[in-house]
Amino acid sequence: MGEKITGYHAIEEALKDVAPGSILFLCRNSEKRNERLESLARAAEKVAIRRIAKVEMDRLVPGVDHRGAVLEVASTFRSRSVATGTGKSTTVKEFVKGLSDDQGALVLILDGITDPQNLGAILRSADQFSVDLVIMPDRRSAQANETVNRISSGAAQYVPMSVVTNLVREMEILQEHGFWVYGADMGGDDLHKVVFPHRTAIVMGAEGDGMSQLVGKRCDHLISIPTTGHIDSLNVSVAAGVLLYEARRQQSIKRTT
């Protein structure tokens, strides 16, 4: 069998396009809302439903807060992709090639996001603000998996993603195709003063360390979110949501004026 998915919303999304032979495990006397998951599994027809004791469920996914439901995806599953956790895999070159001459886009670049919880939360924001592409490195980074999919409430299945070897080179490709790259940095320009163009890429670095030196140097501008609290920074997933919202807001205004 393949990957095991937990989390109500992640399972709900996966059941919309799941391979025959997958199994939905439900705890006996589990949460009432899991009845909807059972209904979705029955509608999918070729998904088996098994009710098991909680102790068996705990052994199935050790150390995971499963809330009484686990979807074990058939190993042949090649949908949007529970296997990679992403909506669609592409390369940066393919992505820019697919843009028309005057088409705008919003790209998110993740540099050293190693915490799956943060990655899942970021991908949820990326889906909500219709990010056109998320770029992340194949090393020194969390990768999309069951935990990330669960934290994102299933949104990770819809986010176009490119996993790359060299972030700086991919940033150069974006810039060659009219993108302005903005790096999140505590010493950057105040977000209130930033005007995002119709082709914008935002770079989020690791919590604590921020962007790598090479990635930071490749950015066109460094930007920061003004805050008034007692601690000096936001969680990276929260900061990503704020920046994506503002970039999308400005792009939406430009399209309607």
CATH number of 4-72: 3.30.1330
User: In this model, does residue 200 exceed pLDDT 50?
Assistant: yes
- Model pTM score: 0.70
- 217-247 pLDDT, tens digit per residue, is 999 999 999 988 877 778 899 999 999 999 9
Nearest CA to 85 out of 147, 128, 42 is that of 147
pLDDT value for 6: 82
Q: Where are the domains of the chain?
A: 4-72, 88-256
Nearest Cα neighbor of 5 from 79, 55, 112 is 79
**Where are the extended beta strands (E) located within 112-212?**
133-137, 160-164, 180-190, 199-205
3-state helix vs strand vs coil in the chain, percent to 5: 35, 25, 40
Between CA 164 and CA 7, with CA 129 as vertex, the angle to 5 degrees is: 80
Given a cut of 70, whether residue 256 has pLDDT beyond it is: no
Inform me whether the pLDDT recorded for 81 exceeds 50.
no
Inter-helix orientation angle 236-256/116-128, to 10°: 10
Please give the distance of CA 55 from its chain centroid, rounded to a whole number.
31
Apex 148 CA angle, 143 and 152, nearest 5: 135
* Residue 85: pLDDT over 80: no
CATH architecture under which domain 88-256 falls: 3-Layer(aba) Sandwich (3.40)
Give the pLDDT confidence score for residue 15 in this predicted structure: 83
Tens of pLDDT, residues 86-124: 456 789 999 999 999 889 999 999 998 888 888 888 998
Per-residue pLDDT averaged across 139-155, rounded?
Answer: 71
